[in-house]
């Protein structure tokens, strides 16, 4: 079905593997287009309740963009490339009402680091390396790297990484708050799935509400507190909230139906 991705759906968790190991899974136009199609399905397919993004092989999550596609770009083309990727993939991942988690198994550089940061949170193998090396090309990140890195690790650390192009290892990424957990390579996907299975036992509409409200912190166009208040109120009209409250009072496990 896809030329650059491997996809599998098990227990309502869709695992999406960027599969260009000979190019260290670098992002090219085909990868971006196919990721866009995957998230069309994620948004519309009720059987998909969570997503894991990872890379093929032990060396790389995504080692950056495919630089061979940059040589013919001018200012207009570069802006169009960045805007298309942001709108069709990166922003849609960040705003997805279903949890999307990056399982980073090696290099996450440039567009790869940006892809991981667009996810709701990240796990990393001990061999993972993160960086934004765009200044080495005379460029800056174009898929949200300057914004999300600053949000996640703070302005000072982000600017140092952006200006130096230095990589950080998994332990440092964990210290900075860029990743939530560091595991062995063997435990990376199992641990990611275990965390998602816990999340999937909760009320899906409430999970989506938490994602929307948390994202509102960084949206200057809206008031995050007002967003939280609105969602809090709206959820009282859902069957899941009634079920959750009733189950708590009856001291039983809730049976949520995303309604």
For 181-192, write each residue's pLDDT tens digit: 999 999 999 999
Going across the sheet that includes 121-125, the strands are: 5-10, 13-18, 50-55, 100-104, 121-125, 181-183
Closest CA to 63 of 147, 17, 132: 132
Q: Is 108 helix (H, G, I), strand (E, B) or coil?
A: strand
Mean pLDDT of 54-61: 94
> Per mean pLDDT, which range of 32-41, 59-68, 194-203, 205-214 is the poorest?
59-68
Active site residue 134: yes
Catalytic-role residue among 11, 33, 114, 243: 114
Predicted confidence (pLDDT) at residue 69 exceeds the cutoff of 90: no
Average pLDDT, integer, range 6-28: 96
Q: Can you give the pLDDT at residue 68?
A: 84
Residue 100, pLDDT > 90, answer: yes
pLDDT at 250 exceeding the cut of 90? yes
CB 26 within 8 A of CB 65: yes
Q: Name the pTM for this structure.
A: 0.95
**What pLDDT score was predicted for residue 196?**
98
Report the pLDDT value the prediction gives residue 71, as an integer from 0 to 100: 83
Which pLDDT band, with edges at 50, 70 and 90, does 65 fall under?
A: confident
Give CB contacts under 8 A, 24+ apart, made by 146-150: 147/218, 148/94, 148/114, 148/117, 148/118, 149/113, 149/117, 149/178
Distances (CA, A) of 75 to 78, 79, 82, 135, 139: 5, 6, 11, 16, 11
Identify the band that residue 257 occupies on the pLDDT scale cut at 50, 70 and 90: very high
* Confidence at residue 212, expressed as pLDDT on a 0 to 100 scale: 97
Catalytic residue among 79, 134, 186, 228: 134
pLDDT at 58 exceeding the cut of 90: no
């Amino acid at each position: 079905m896809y030329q650059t991705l491997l996809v599998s759906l098990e227990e309502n968790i869709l695992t999406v593997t960027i599969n260009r190991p000979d190019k260290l899974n670098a992002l090219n136009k085909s990868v971006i287009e196919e990721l866009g199609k995957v998230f069309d399905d994620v948004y519309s397919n009720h059987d998909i309740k969570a997503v894991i993004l990872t890379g093929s092989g032990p060396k790389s999550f995504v080692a950056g963009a495919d630089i061979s596609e940059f040589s013919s770009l001018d200012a207009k083309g570069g802006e169009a490339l960045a805007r298309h990727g942001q709108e069709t993939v990166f922003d849609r991942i960040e705003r997805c009402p279903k949890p999307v988690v990056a399982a980073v198994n090696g290099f996450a550089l440039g567009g790869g680091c940006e892809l991981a940061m667009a996810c709701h949170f990240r796990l990393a193998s001990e061999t993972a390396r993160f960086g934004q090396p765009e200044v080495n090309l005379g460029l800056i990140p174009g898929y949200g790297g300057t914004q999300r890195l600053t949000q996640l690790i703070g302005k000072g650390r982000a600017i140092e990484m952006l200006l130096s192009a230095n990589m950080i290892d998994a332990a440092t990424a964990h210290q900075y708050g860029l990743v939530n957990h560091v595991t062995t390579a063997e435990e990376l996907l199992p641990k990611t799935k275990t965390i998602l299975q816990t999340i999937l036992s909760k009320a899906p509409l409430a999970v989506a509400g938490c994602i929307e409200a948390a994202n509102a912190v960084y949206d200057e166009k809206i008031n995050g507190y007002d967003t939280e208040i609105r969602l809090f109120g709206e959820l009282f009209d859902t069957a899941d909230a009634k079920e959750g409250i009733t189950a708590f009072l009856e001291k039983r496990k809730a049976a949520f139906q995303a309604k």
